[in-house]
């Protein structure tokens, strides 16, 4: 084979590999490991591995018994968030430790999937590789077949339902400074069952993302994290890293992704009707929006 033929072969292989990468099917979560132990023991090990790997732990949330969620960021995540419109949603990754039967599962949000559903500038493949090296990677899960990056960037659950570009406007203030201080204070006061889990400020932008825990009962049960997960997180591999929800302060406005999008991106295969379906949480999207709006409004 002469040099020209070799060069052509290399180019063809490169094009093929690039096409395959572009068409790779992405799923919401990554299973890092599963096995014996306790949630408390695993949480200590996971936090040590993450901080040792250069991640910063910005919050921790135990939404119900047998589950703990560790929220992390790093410079690459924040840099990509700064370069992306409403990129604050993708400024963190969530790592979950969940008791499932006789084993404990460690899982995390798939950075490449999240980068695409949040329409970010970079695909966070470097963060994905870093998390895999720090925590491990057994398989991706959360969808039967998954989506290509192109499909993820245009995703909505079904006709008439919200896209990433259709968030709820929760409040408006006089400035970013006023908005972020007010939202921080209101979430810290645990109003309406909504409380602060973490805050990350996006460098170089007037933008901050807050993670929020939601607790409710009785008439307010539909906004409750435990109620929602009990209805829809029913598979053997647990999607605990769906939590916590986000509130985004961007400029002088306060937003949240509408639940018919925010829940659907993590549970894209959830059926519309029947057992363990969206019908069971039909009142949740508005309950979540109302709770968040009441909490952060001026």
Check residue 23 and give its pLDDT: 65
Residue 293 predicted with pLDDT over 50: yes
Instruction: Say if CB 262 and CB 248 are below 8 A apart.
Output: no
* pLDDT exceeds 50 at position 9: no
CA 291 to chain centre: 20
How large is the greatest C-alpha to C-alpha distance in the chain, in angstroms?
A: 76
191 pLDDT band (50/70/90 cuts)? Answer: confident
Domains and CATH numbers, the chain: 24-296 (3.30.310.70)
Give CA–CA dist 210/244, Å, rounded.
9
Residue 248's nearest CA partner among 169, 192, 144, 193 is 169
What pTM does this model have? 0.91
Q: What is the pLDDT of residues 255-283, one digit of tens each?
A: 999 999 999 999 999 999 888 888 999 99
Residue 1 confidence class, pLDDT cut points 50, 70, 90? very low
Q: What is the mean pLDDT of the chain?
A: 93
Q: Which residues of 161-182 are buried (b: 16+ CB within 10 A; e: fewer)?
A: ebbbeebbebbebeebeebbeb
The tens digit of pLDDT for each residue in 54-71 reads 999 999 999 999 999 999
Q: 115 pLDDT exceeds 80? A: yes
Burial of 97 (0-12, 13-18, 19+ CB in 10 A): buried
Mean pLDDT lowest among 47-56, 169-178, 274-283: 274-283
**Residue 11 pLDDT exceeds 90:** no
Rg (C-alpha) for the chain, rounded Å, is 20
- The Cα–Cα gap between 119 and 83 comes to 11
Kindly report, residue by residue over 151-164, the tens digit of the pLDDT.
Answer: 999 999 998 899 99
């Amino acid at each position: 084979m002469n040099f020209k033929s070799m060069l052509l072969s290399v180019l063809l292989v490169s094009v093929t590999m690039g096409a395959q990468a572009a068409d790779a099917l992405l799923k919401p979560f990554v299973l890092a490991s599963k096995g014996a132990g306790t949630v408390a023991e695993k949480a200590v090990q996971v936090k040590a591995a993450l901080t040792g790997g250069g991640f910063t732990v910005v919050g921790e949330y135990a939404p119900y018994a047998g589950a703990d969620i560790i929220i992390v960021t790093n410079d690459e995540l924040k840099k990509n968030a700064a370069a992306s419109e409403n990129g604050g949603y993708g400024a963190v990754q969530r790592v979950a430790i969940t008791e499932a039967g006789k084993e404990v599962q460690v899982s995390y949000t798939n950075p490449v999937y999240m980068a695409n559903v949040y329409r970010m500038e970079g695909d966070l493949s470097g963060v994905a590789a870093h998390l895999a090296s720090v925590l491990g990677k057994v398989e991706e899960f959360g969808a039967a077949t998954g989506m290509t990056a192109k499909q993820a960037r245009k995703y909505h659950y079904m006709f008439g339902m919200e896209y990433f570009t259709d968030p709820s406007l929760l409040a408006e203030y006089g400035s970013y400074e006023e908005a972020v201080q007010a939202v921080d204070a209101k979430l810290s006061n645990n109003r309406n069952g909504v409380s602060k889990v973490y805050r990350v400020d996006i460098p170089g932008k007037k933008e901050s993302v807050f993670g929020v825990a939601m607790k409710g009962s009785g008439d307010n049960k539909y906004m409750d994290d435990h109620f929602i997960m009990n209805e829809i997180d029913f598979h053997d591999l647990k999607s605990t890293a769906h939590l916590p929800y986000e509130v985004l302060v961007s400029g002088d406005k306060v937003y949240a992704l509408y639940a018919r999008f925010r829940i659907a991106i993590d549970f894209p295969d959830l059926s519309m009707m029947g057992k363990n379906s969206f019908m069971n949480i039909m009142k949740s999207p508005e309950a979540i929006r109302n709770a968040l709006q009441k909490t952060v409004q001026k």
